[in-house]
Amino acid sequence: MPLKISINYSPNFNQKKRLKTEIKFIIIHYTGMKSEKGALDRLTNIQSEVGSHYFISKNGNITLLVPELYIAWHAGKSKWKRQSLLNKNSIGIEITNPGHRFGYKNFTYKQINSTIILIRYLVNKYRISKKNILGHSDIAPDRKKDPGEKFPWEHLATKKLSIWHNIKQQELKSLRKKKCNKIEKYKFFKNLIKIGYLGKNLVKVTKAFQRRFRPQIVDGKIDQECFKISKKLI
C-alpha cells in the first residue's frame, strides 16, 4: 500500500531546521481527547503550544502537520537512556483515541495499518533503530499513559518495528502475579534503566513498562512475569 498523506499545517514547531541525521526516534502518542476534530483543532492551534509531525485519523488517513525537519512540540519533558528533551531528535505521531480519560478504545485496523506504513517509511528514510520506536509513556512515565496498553506493540515487533521478547505465553502466565523478593525488584529496576526507562515514581515507571511489554495487567506491581520480561529485553 503506497503512502498517502494530506496536509494541514500546524504552527507549533521551532522555526529552525534540524539536520536529517539528527532524527533518531519515533514517538507514538494518542490524542486523548473526546473527538477527532477537537484533537486536530488543538494540534493546529497556536495557543495550545502542542503539535506533532503526523496525525492518524480513525479511518487511517495520515495528515502531515509539521514537516519532518522541523522540531514539533509533542514530547515535552522526556528522557530515554542518555537522551533528554526528545523533541529535538524525534518525529511525533498522534493517533486519534479518547485515551484513558475519555473512554480508552481499541485502535482501529486502519489506524494500525497506516501507523505501520508510516513508521516503515520513516525508519527507511532516517535509518531509525527499532529500539528507538517508543511510546510517549516510555519517555515520560511520570506523567503520560499514551499510547497505552491497547496499542499493539507485539504486532509491530512482527514487522520489525519494535523490540519484543520471545517468551512463550504459557510460561508468562505461569509467572503472572507471583511475587518478587527485594533483590529481584532491585534487579528489575536496574533492567528498566538498561532498557531506557527513567522516572521518579517507580510505580508509574513500572506501569509504563507493563503498558508496553505486559499489557494484560497494568497495576504497577512487580511480579515474576515482569521480571522475566525485563531480563529478556536487556
Cell of 161: 518495528
- Please tell me the distance from the alpha carbon of residue 50 to that of residue 12, in angstroms, as a whole number: 6
CA angle (91, 157, 54) in 5-degree steps:
25
- Please tell me the distance from the alpha carbon of residue 146 to that of residue 135, in angstroms, as a whole number: 7
- Please tell me the distance from the alpha carbon of residue 122 to that of residue 151, in angstroms, as a whole number: 19
Which residue in 22, 36, 94, 225 is the catalytic one?
94
Q: Which one-letter amino acid corresponds to residue 7?
A: I
Can you name the residues that pair with 63 across neighbouring β-strands?
A: 6, 55
Active site residue 36: no
CB atoms within 10 A of CB 109: 9
28 phi, psi to nearest 5 deg: -100, 135
Contact between residue 96 and residue 41 where contact means Cβ atoms under 8 Å apart: no
CB atoms within 10 A of CB 14: 13
96-105 per-residue burial string, b: 16 or more CB within 10 A, e: under 16: bbbbeeeebe
Catalytic positions, written as ranges: 94
